Structure 1
Amino acid sequence: MTAPPPVPAHLSDRPLSGGLVVPWITPATTGGVYLFGNLAATSQHRCLHERRCQICGRALPGEAVLFARTSDLRTRCTSEPASCPPCAAYSAGACPMLSGARSTYRTSTHPALAGVPADPQRRLRQGAPAERWYAVHVQQYDVIPHPSRPDNLAASWQRIPPVRIEAVPVAGR
């Protein structure tokens, strides 16, 4: 396992776990265990509606980055809120899923959630090969109900064309 990238100065106020910055949107258990790979619904809604970065929690600048899986490109939306460009650059190298350091999704729910039923989408991904990730650079996005999970919100670029879409570089390639 490679060492995590250095923490950018603008993220020095964020907590760390395993050397990684804990995103603003990441929930924690009452015991203080951060649940990487999960989204806190309240924070997700605030990020989407208030145009906040999911990593640092600050207001997004003009251009923002939405991280989307291959399957998200088909629907032109993602449940992942946007990131400011500096946080997106850090995340692309630090996040094991984005960077390609993990080639599969977890085979079970987060250990801290043992006994808590996983949502159906998470169960479908458990142990599955990880999809390719893309950085969708946007000036604006719409907040919509997710097409396949209407009870979940998504950032959509269907009506507002993105500035560009590029594959996130995979570690070691």
Structure 2
Amino acid sequence: MPATPDIPAHLIRRPRQGGLVVPWITPATPDGVALFGTVSDVAQHDCLLRSLCQICRQPLSRRAVLFARASDLGHACTAEPALCPPCAAYSRHACPMLAGRRTQYRATGHPALAAMPEGADAALRRAAPAEAWFPVWVADYDVVEHPARPGTLAASWQRMPPLRIRPL
């Protein structure tokens, strides 16, 4: 698989950096540099609460994919907003963490964010080994507070059994 996978047609107009589509939930510096690996809290909440895809920001259909870390499976929820199936297929190959090209999380935050507070779970992952990821296919989800990350919203499949969970 190439480092820059083919971009789905519906993402052609999305901004790109380094050949990769910039997800809608990824913040950028004032001069337009995408802060990959960082999530805008406002965009994360918007996607979770309005059932929007975190990459293309389009409404989710009857099936969506939640990418959950191994540590999230026991809680039956993830702070990662859902993706539409085409964006999930693209992300599975484009994202270095999902594709397994990174073995650990960043040891430091992005320099552009030095004066800003970190997200609730950024400190938990700092320099930690990368976890296994699982696509969780769902027909719907509830928005809850993540039990392991107080104050962090999450998509939960606790009440509605997922359609499928498989390791990447």
Paired residues of 1:24 and 1:56 also in contact (CA < 8 A) = yes
Map of 2:85 onto structure 1: 85
Write the letter of the residue equivalent to 1:21.
V
Runs of at least 4 residues off by over 4 Å: none
1:119 deviates by 4.3
Gaps of at least 5 residues in structure 2 are: none
Measured in 1, the distance between the counterparts of 2:42 and 2:123 equals 22
Q: String of CA shifts for 1:80-104, please: whole Å, max 9, x gaps.
A: 0000000000000000000001111
Asked if the contact 1:105/1:130 (under 8 Å) is kept, the reply is: yes
Alignment gaps of 5+ in structure 1: 169-173
Are 1:108 and 2:105 an aligned pair? no
Aligned partner of 2:38 in structure 1 is 38
Who is 1:171 aligned against?
none
- Deviation of the 1:115 alpha carbon: 4.3
Whichever residue aligns with residue 49 of structure 2, its letter is H
Partner Cα distance (1:120, 1:108) in 2: 15
Q: Distance in 2 between matches of 1:14 and 1:161?
A: 32
Equivalent-residue separation in structure 2 for 1:51 and 1:143 (angstroms): 10
8 Å Cα contact 2:24/2:56 also seen in 1: yes
Look up the SS of the partner of 1:31 in the other structure. coil
Q: Distance between the aligned counterparts of 2:48 and 2:116, measured in 1?
A: 26
User: What TM-score do you get using the length of structure 1 for normalisation?
Assistant: 0.91
- Matching of residue 166 in structure 1 with residue 166 in structure 2: yes
Q: Percent identity?
A: 59
Offset of residue 33 of structure 1: 1.7
TM-score by length of 2: 0.94
Number of residues paired by the alignment? 167
Equivalent position SS for 2:121: helix
